[in-house]
């Protein structure tokens, strides 16, 4: 009788589930990126965030097909670069928008870092289990 733990699943099943999750999550990240740009009206901060999210979405798909430490490191570097550039843009525009761009970036930064973490998890799920 199965208790529902992932340890009881064959590696192929886990890898397949990771791939499906990667496709769904990548699609949601792209929709979120388009939403950022559409709602913000092309604000430079959200354009940076959207570009970073689209690159992370692509890395999610790459991670489940070519899992490697390099993929995980690239995702972390992309997310970190997106956060740094986002904060630079937010600081540069904060004098004209009463600091709302800084507050927006405080909300966007975790989304970008969660994207990098998801790439890491997806890559490990496929790599460790031989997918």
R_g (Cα) of the chain, nearest Å: 17
Alpha-carbon distance 83 to 49, whole Å? 8
Alpha-carbon distance 128 to 131, whole Å? 8
Please compute the mean of the pLDDT values over residues 90-111 and round it to a whole number.
Answer: 89
Q: Could you read off the pLDDT of 24-44 as tens digits, one per residue?
A: 999 999 999 999 999 988 889
Confidence category of residue 14, pLDDT binned at 50, 70, 90: confident
Element (H, E) at 131: none
Alpha-carbon distance 80 to 78, whole Å? 5
What pLDDT, on a 0 to 100 scale, did the predictor assign at position 120? 94
Alpha-carbon distance 59 to 81, whole Å? 15
Q: Could you read off the pLDDT of 53-98 as tens digits, one per residue?
A: 999 999 999 999 988 899 999 999 999 999 999 999 999 988 888 8
Is the confidence at residue 8, as pLDDT, over 80?
A: no
Task: Record the pTM.
Answer: 0.87
Alpha-carbon distance 10 to 114, whole Å? 27
Contacts of 42-45 with CB under 8 Å at 24 or more apart are 43/101, 44/89, 44/93, 45/86, 45/89, 45/90, 45/93, 45/101, 45/104, 45/105, 45/108
Residue 7 CB coordination number (10 Å):
6
């Amino acid at each position: 009788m199965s208790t529902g733990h992932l340890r009881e699943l064959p590696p192929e099943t886990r890898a397949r589930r990771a791939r499906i999750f990667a496709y769904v999550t990548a699609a949601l990240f792209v929709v979120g990126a388009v939403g950022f740009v559409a709602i913000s009206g092309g604000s430079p901060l959200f354009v940076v965030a959207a570009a970073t999210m689209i690159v992370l979405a692509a890395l999610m798909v790459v991670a489940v097909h070519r899992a490697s430490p390099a993929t995980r490191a690239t995702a972390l570097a992309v997310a970190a670069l997106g956060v740094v550039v986002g904060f630079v843009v937010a600081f540069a525009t904060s004098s004209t928008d009463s600091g709302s761009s800084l507050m927006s970036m405080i909300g966007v930064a975790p989304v970008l870092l969660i994207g990098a973490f998801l790439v890491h998890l997806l890559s490990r799920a496929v790599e460790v289990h031989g997918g």
